[in-house]
Chains A and B, each alone.
Chain A
Amino acid sequence: MGLGAYIAVSAVLFAIGVVCIVARRNMIYVLMGIEMILNAANINFVAFNRFNGDAMDGRMFAIFVIILAAAEAAVALGIVLNVYHLFESIKPGDVDLMRD
């Protein structure tokens, strides 16, 4: 398979991730969408790395992205838990006290 095919997959995954964040009204979907975007970036990193002579850069970056994703998911879930305790909802629409 050529490089273009991988980049196409990653671009479509990126797009679906953005839709998942914007179109659904639930914090869990936002988190899942973010994970999709990070996965899309990772496909890019590994594919470019492979077709660029198989040095290390892209692959190392991908490992760090996985680490970041795990860290971010943990903190985000903690925050969601806290919001749930206070608001008894995790829909962004319900968690909206502050306005202009």
Chain B
Amino acid sequence: MDDKLQKPFYAALGVITLGLLGWGAASAGAQGIAFGLFTALTLGGSLICVWERSVVRSAFSLMGTFTGVAGLFLLLGADFLAVAQILIYVGGILALILFGVMLSPPDLAERKLSRVLGGLALMLGAVAWVGSKVAGTVAWATTDELPEPTTKVDEIGVAFLDPEGYVVPFELAAMILTVALVAAVYIARRKASDLTDPRAEERA
């Protein structure tokens, strides 16, 4: 029954993509088409990720999500972030996840379609419900006229080291990365002595 749904699922994704592209083109021309494309990549990638039975396929479809988000960053004028997103997410985190994928033997029974579909219906329903409550009344803090987006790589660099800017978070982030390295290496590294359980007596 699962395999029967495979085709309709991808067909629905295709229809949604076309709809997004059309809606984008109608509402904002070329930029709208780009928005529709990146949105389709982002959401399509994540939907395939929860949908697919094989972890490998899921992990690769997540690449679509990350790339799509990078594209959205570009549209929002955050070019540095878009590049960082591609480098770190697609190049780093996704590669890390693929290492993890090697740890899980194929298990086609793991996905329970009812759980995935039920979860999606529930969560998307909740988001739609909150969205409908919020949509009319929400007033985000926005400026009336949008300034032209500017390249800000140099400004970001200066802000990182500016005492009135982000120097403390910057240094703290350095510490976080150090800790992450030490912790990850400690937990993952194996020596013969590590494999003896210090609490072995307890279980005996």
Contacts and interface: CB of A to CB of B under 8 A. Distances in A.
Chain A directly contacts chain B within the complex, with at least one CB pair under 8 Å: yes
Interface of A: 1, 3-9, 11-20, 22-29, 31-33, 35-36, 39, 42-43, 46-54, 56, 59-60, 62-64, 66-75, 77-82, 84-85, 90-91
Contacts of B161: none
A43 to B, nearest CB: 6
A63 B157 CA distance: 12
B177 A50 contact: no
A67 B81 contact: no
A43 B142 CA distance: 16
B15 interface: no
Contacts of B59: 28, 32
Interface of B: 24, 27-28, 31-32, 35, 39, 42-43, 46-47, 49-50, 55, 58-59, 62, 65-66, 69, 72-73, 75-78, 81, 84-85, 88-89, 92-93, 96-97, 99-101, 103-104, 107, 110-112, 115-116, 118-120, 123-124, 126-127, 130-131, 135, 140-143, 146-147, 149-150, 152, 155-156, 159, 165-166, 169, 173, 176-177, 179-181, 183-188, 190
5 contacts: A35-B62, A39-B65, A47-B72, A53-B143, A91-B107
Chain A, interface SS category: helix
Q: Top 6 A-B pairs ranked by shortest CB distance? A: A71-B180, A78-B184, A15-B123, A19-B119, A78-B187, A23-B119
Consensus secondary structure, chain B interface: helix
Contacts of A15: 120, 123-124, 126-127
Contacts of B119: 18-19, 22-23
Contacts of B73: 42-43, 46, 62
A60 B179 CA distance: 21
Contacts of B50: 16, 19-20, 23-24, 29, 33
Contacts of B81: 42, 46, 59, 62-63, 66
Contact of B89 (A1, A19, A33, A66): A66
A50 B35 CA distance: 15
